Amino acid sequence: MNTITQPAGPNTDAPAVEPSADALGTTAAHVRSGALEKQILDDPSQFRVLTGDRPTGRLHLGHYFGTLHNRVRLQNLGVEMFVIVADYQVLTDRDVADNLTEHVEELVLDHLAIGVDPARSTIFTHSAVPALNQLLLPFLSLVSVPELSRNPTVKDEIAHSRQSSVSGLMFTYPVHQAADILFCKANLVPVGQDQLPHLQITRTIARRFNDRYGSGATVFPQPEALLSSAPLVLGTDGTKMSKSRGNAINLAADADETARLIKGAKTDSERHITYDPVARPEVSSLLLLAALCEDRTPQQVADDIGTAGAAALKRTVTEAVNEYLAPIRARRAEYARDRAYVRRTLREGNERARAVAETTLSEVRAAMNSDY
Ligand code: TRP
């Protein structure tokens, strides 16, 4: 059951991919994402996107160029979008969700700052949408314990968990995530590769629900992953950018802090600056960052710097990042002064999500003969 076979969906021009091509279907998902991008440009109204994050702290440039930027792009192309602030999911690998209210508001602020428009996109939290959470029970009945326990992303998270024992939520959160996606019948989920197993279980649940309860009708669509083609921006130490590693440049950092962080970034002693992600990952990631901000190629940025060395590279990157982020940071500061607006955005998003979830739950009840 756990393999991506020929992707479902209209007008697919992706080639058939053997299920065994690779274990997670990553190759198939990349090929399919290319085809989906074309369909989005042709007719964005065919798509409803659900995407989201755990509220564990402020967002950084890795998030921005990895996913956030893409959200705004999809919204502006005319795709309907739901953004979930996955507050229950914070509890998968820790006992207490610290500073939750603050983190949730910061996440909303970050989205407003980058251009997510609450008039067009719905930002909401897990915990405020009871009907979404109620989908978890029937969905759990549709997956087996072995299916849950062999999820590679969950296994990896357990390996890195800061808890001494594994909670039930850790094993079941991919099913919860299926409820996040299916409650609004999203058919497109922009994700990183690590989330592909969760997309697969979501598709499995949708298919099994339809088979078991649909009486021939499709209650839930089988959503597809939209993998980003954006290359990875590394942290200032050359490893994956992550708040817990202390190597992140936050969207909300000010220009001086950004300059300080970039000044401290790891480079090498070769004065000739070249773009070579394999041999020179740290230098190349800095070049990539400047390139993304200036809408140029990393090679162009490198050619301009030539043999001026790491200090010149860092000056270039600092200027590029600060200039690019200036309007985002200005908007963020403006919204940050209007907390009432931030809270209202979330309240209204929650209301919209609740209405959608209630409708879906009613259909589920009807399909399951439990609408008394
Ligand atoms: N699991 C995702 C993460 O850790 C967050 C998330 C929760 C999510 N629900 C989702 C992502 C639904 C996409 C769709 O980043």
304 and 284 inside one domain? yes
Integer CA distances (angstroms), 191 to 40, 66, 309, in order: 16, 9, 36
For residue 119, what are its two tokens?
């008039």
156 and 291 inside one domain? no
**Beta carbon of 180 within 6 Å of any ligand 1 atom:** yes
For position 214, which CATH number holds?
3.40.50.620
Task: Determine the distance separating the centroid of ligand 1 and the alpha carbon of 306, expressed in angstroms.
Answer: 41
**Beta carbon of 126 within 6 Å of any ligand 1 atom:** no
**Contact by Cβ (8 Å): 136, 179:** yes
Query: Of ligand 1's atoms, which has the minimum distance to the CA of residue 86?
Result: 7
328 and 355 inside one domain? no
**3-state secondary structure at position 325:** helix
DSSP bridge pairs for 57: none
Provide the 10 A C-beta neighbour count for residue 283: 25
81 and 168 inside one domain? yes
Task: Determine the distance separating the centroid of ligand 1 and the alpha carbon of 67, expressed in angstroms.
Answer: 12
CA–CA separation, 369 and 372 (whole Å): 8
Which residue, chain included where needed, has tokens 């059951």?
Answer: 1
**Beta carbon of 328 within 6 Å of any ligand 1 atom:** no
CA–CA separation, 356 and 294 (whole Å): 40
For residue 264, what are its two tokens?
């401290």
Based on DSSP, count helices (H) and strands (E) in the chain, helices before strands: 15, 5
For residue 255, what are its two tokens?
């220009």
pLDDT in tens, 248-291: 999 999 999 999 999 999 999 999 999 999 999 999 999 999 99
Protein residue closest via CA to atom 14 of ligand 1: 51
**3-state secondary structure at position 228:** coil
Residue 25: pLDDT band with limits 50, 70, 90: confident
Amino acid at 170: M
Q: Does residue 218 carry a pLDDT above 60? A: yes
Task: Determine the distance separating the centroid of ligand 1 and the alpha carbon of 191, expressed in angstroms.
Answer: 8
Residue 16 lies in a domain: no
Q: Let me know the angle formed at the C-alpha of 125 by 8 and 50, rounded to the nearest 5 degrees.
A: 20
**Beta carbon of 177 within 6 Å of any ligand 1 atom:** yes
Domain that holds residue 155: 32-232+339-367
pLDDT in tens, 299-326: 999 999 999 999 999 999 999 999 999 9
Residue 14 lies in a domain: no
**3-state secondary structure at position 240:** strand
Task: Determine the distance separating the centroid of ligand 1 and the alpha carbon of 53, expressed in angstroms.
Answer: 5
Residue 301 lies in a domain: yes
Task: Determine the distance separating the centroid of ligand 1 and the alpha carbon of 301, expressed in angstroms.
Answer: 34
167 and 301 inside one domain? no
pLDDT score recorded for residue 257 = 97
Residue 9 lies in a domain: no
Which residue among 198, 227, 243 has the greatest number of ligand 1 atoms within 8 angstroms of its CB, and so is best to mutate?
198
127 and 263 inside one domain? no
Among 22-36, 54-68, 147-161, the range scoring the smallest mean pLDDT is: 22-36
**Beta carbon of 54 within 6 Å of any ligand 1 atom:** yes
Q: Does residue 370 carry a pLDDT above 90? A: yes
Residue 148 lies in a domain: yes
DSSP code string of 59-98? -BHHHIIIIIHHHHHHHHHT-EEEEEE-TGGGGGS-SS-T
CA–CA separation, 331 and 219 (whole Å): 40
61 and 172 inside one domain? yes
53 and 171 inside one domain? yes
Task: Determine the distance separating the centroid of ligand 1 and the alpha carbon of 52, expressed in angstroms.
Answer: 5
Domain count, the chain: 2
Phi/psi at 123 (nearest 5 deg)? -105, 130
Residue 110 lies in a domain: yes
Residue 3 lies in a domain: no
Protein residue closest via CA to atom 13 of ligand 1: 51
Amino acid at 358: E
**Contact by Cβ (8 Å): 125, 84:** yes
Task: Determine the distance separating the centroid of ligand 1 and the alpha carbon of 280, expressed in angstroms.
Answer: 32
255 and 289 inside one domain? yes
173 and 314 inside one domain? no
Residue 274 lies in a domain: yes
> Considering the entire predicted model, what is its pTM?
0.90
Q: What sign does the CA torsion over 66, 69, 75, 79 have?
A: negative
pLDDT in tens, 157-199: 999 888 889 999 999 999 999 999 999 999 999 988 889 999 9
**Beta carbon of 86 within 6 Å of any ligand 1 atom:** yes
Query: Of ligand 1's atoms, which has the minimum distance to the CA of residue 173?
Result: 1
**Beta carbon of 84 within 6 Å of any ligand 1 atom:** yes
168 and 292 inside one domain? no
For position 286, which CATH number holds?
1.10.240.10
Residue 28: pLDDT band with limits 50, 70, 90: confident
pLDDT score recorded for residue 6 = 36
- List the end-to-end C-alpha distance of the chain, in Å, as a whole number: 33
43 and 186 inside one domain? yes
Q: Which candidate, 316, 323, 254, places its Cα nearest to that of 283? A: 316
pLDDT score recorded for residue 1 = 35
Q: Does residue 15 carry a pLDDT above 50? A: no
Residue 231: pLDDT band with limits 50, 70, 90: confident
**3-state secondary structure at position 234:** strand
